[in-house]
Amino acid sequence: MLQFFAKFKRFGIVLLVLSVIIIYLMYDALKPEKRLPIYHPNMVNPELVDSSLHRLKNDHRIANFKLVNQNGITITEQDYDDKIYIADFFFTTCPTICPLMTKNMAAIQENILEDEDVMLLSHSVTPKIDSVPKLKRYALEKGVNDSKWNLLTGDKKQIYELARKSYLAVQHDGDGGPYDMIHTENFILVDKEKRIRGFYDGTNPEEVSKLLEDIVILKESYSQ
């Protein structure tokens, strides 16, 4: 009699384990697939959207650009073809949010160092001050890997229009004057089609962690 119950007990344990596995597999198969939104101007705070874009409801993409990096090399949108990338705006003499943003961007760099699909792109908002040699010194100080992360300088008007009209990150595109200044803590996640997939506070560690998670989700969407 005891042997019968012992066998029944073993059978019950096996049945329980199999049930748990089946339930897990069913849940995994049925759970909603995580997808990131594709941001268009009508999905963003209207104050951050130029009036020329207010009626644009879809197909918003980062505009073409031509700027110079910390090594004096001309960088265009073509250098980011078929790449996922994170963009931001900074200046080397910034005493407030930029040092923390750069530190967090460097942490992202460490996470994507071996990932050929992901790159970083930082635009100086004081390009007349941030010359190529100054950007190079800054890059060396902050541990910038030239193969993963471009720090850009160049035409101020172009940079400001990118911030305002492409990345939807600031409230004005400026007039390019010497005292004109934009400032934003946004990290912007851009997909391989040059579409915005997320906005994150680059000074907030939790937001940066969320960005890293979203990069994984975005990469998985290309492997399916």
- Per-residue pLDDT, averaged over 183-208, amounts to 96
Structural contact between residues 151 and 124, judged by C-beta atoms closer than 8 angstroms: yes
How many angstroms separate the CA atoms of 85 and 82, rounded? 10
72 beta partners = none
What SS3 state is found at 103?
Answer: helix
Distance set, CA 209 to CA 33, 102, 123, 174 (Å): 20, 15, 22, 32
pLDDT at 27: 45
% of residues, the chain, pLDDT over 70 = 81
Between 22-26, 48-52, 105-109, 189-193, the lowest mean confidence (pLDDT) is in 22-26
**Residue 194's closest CA among 79, 88, 64, 62?**
62
Does 203 have pLDDT greater than 60?
yes
The pair of structure tokens assigned to 211 is 């960005």
- Residue of 53 and 25 predicted with greater confidence: 53
pTM for the full predicted model = 0.82
- Residue of 2 and 126 predicted with greater confidence: 126
Q: Provide the 10 A C-beta neighbour count for residue 67.
A: 20
* Cα 183-184-190 angle, rounded to 5 deg: 135
